[in-house]
Amino acid sequence: QQQVKQSPQSLIVQKGGISIINCAYENTAFDYFPWYQQFPGKGPALLIAIRPDVSEKKEGRFTISFNKSAKQFSLHIMDSQPGDSATYFCAAEDSTSYGKLTFGQGTILTVHP
């Protein structure tokens, strides 16, 4: 019940295309859903996050779509660029916990020029 399932495991997109990564969860106590971006040799860095009181959040080329009834959320990267090539992790937190983030398995995104 604590799991967050992420797909796909890897994704190849052409420059300018849309990258879509999906996550699903079961624990209805989760109430904070961040996405982290990780480049090789670096730690995960927060990219964008959403709370379940909204269905969508957009920051620049990055958008989170959230479907509370389906317990699913997704990251859309518009106009994907080679510099977006990285590993992306979705995560979830129950804010009554002490900061415990539950991560998805990660998606390796490759954007070809």
Partner 1 sequence: EPEVTQTPSHQVTQMGQEVILRCVPISNHLYFYWYRQILGQKVEFLVSFYNNEISEKSEIFDDQFSVERPDGSNFTLKIRSTKLEDSAMYFCASSEDRGAKNIQYFGAGTRLSVL
Q: State the binding string over 34-63 for partner 1 (x if CB under 8 A, else -).
A: x-x----xxxxxx--x--------------
Regarding 105 and contact with partner 1 (CB under 8 A), the answer is yes
Q: How far is the CB of 91 from partner 1 (least distance, A)?
A: 8
63: left (phi over 0), alpha (psi -120 to 50) or beta: beta
Q: How far is the CB of 46 from partner 1 (least distance, A)?
A: 5
Regarding 97 and contact with partner 1 (CB under 8 A), the answer is yes
Tell me the pairing of strands 86-92 and 45-50.
unpaired
Q: Are 32 and 93 in contact (CB under 8 A)?
A: yes
Regarding 20 and contact with partner 1 (CB under 8 A), the answer is no
Q: Is 4 exposed, middle or buried (0-12, 13-18, 19+ CB in 10 A)?
A: buried
Residues that bind partner 1 in the complex, under the rule CB under 8 A: 6, 32, 34, 36, 41-46, 49, 89, 93, 95, 97-106
